Amino acid sequence: MSAEVAVRGAVIDALRGDAVLMAGLNGLFDGAPARASAPYGVVGECVATDWGAKDVDGRELTVTVSLFDAGEGPGRLAGLLARVDPLLRTMEVTEGWRVVHARLVRSRLSRTGARDGWQALADYRLRVVRV
């Protein structure tokens, strides 16, 4: 299985496995949903580059996690976003790949114009090696 597919699946499983996060969301989707009511989460783009060595097959992946809320303020969304970081930092093993490094690259919190709500977006860098 490719690193992109394995890690993306592991990210989704980790997020869906957190009862507190899921209690605060109406759903967590693999890619942009056709229809969803806020608050909801999306595991979006997953970009991979080679991160291997002579005897090590490795990939560096950037995975985007987005959370959407229709609230008047960003407080609830910020609390949900805070749940994401420890989940992704403690991921260890995926199908055929082992996470050796997980780090938040950037996050942003902004108002959405079309939905009159808020969006939190976090990009994580995950370095993995084939087991």
Domains in the chain: boundaries: 3-32+39-56+72-130
In this model, does residue 52 exceed pLDDT 90?
no
For residues 62-85, average pLDDT: 92
pLDDT tier at 114 (50, 70, 90 boundaries)? low
The tokens for 77 are 């969304």
Strand 28-30 to 58-69 pairing: unpaired
**Do 129 and 57 form a contact (C-beta atoms < 8 A)?**
yes
In this model, does residue 44 exceed pLDDT 80?
yes
> Model confidence over 75-103: pLDDT tens digits?
889 899 999 999 999 998 778 999 999 99
In this model, does residue 24 exceed pLDDT 70?
yes
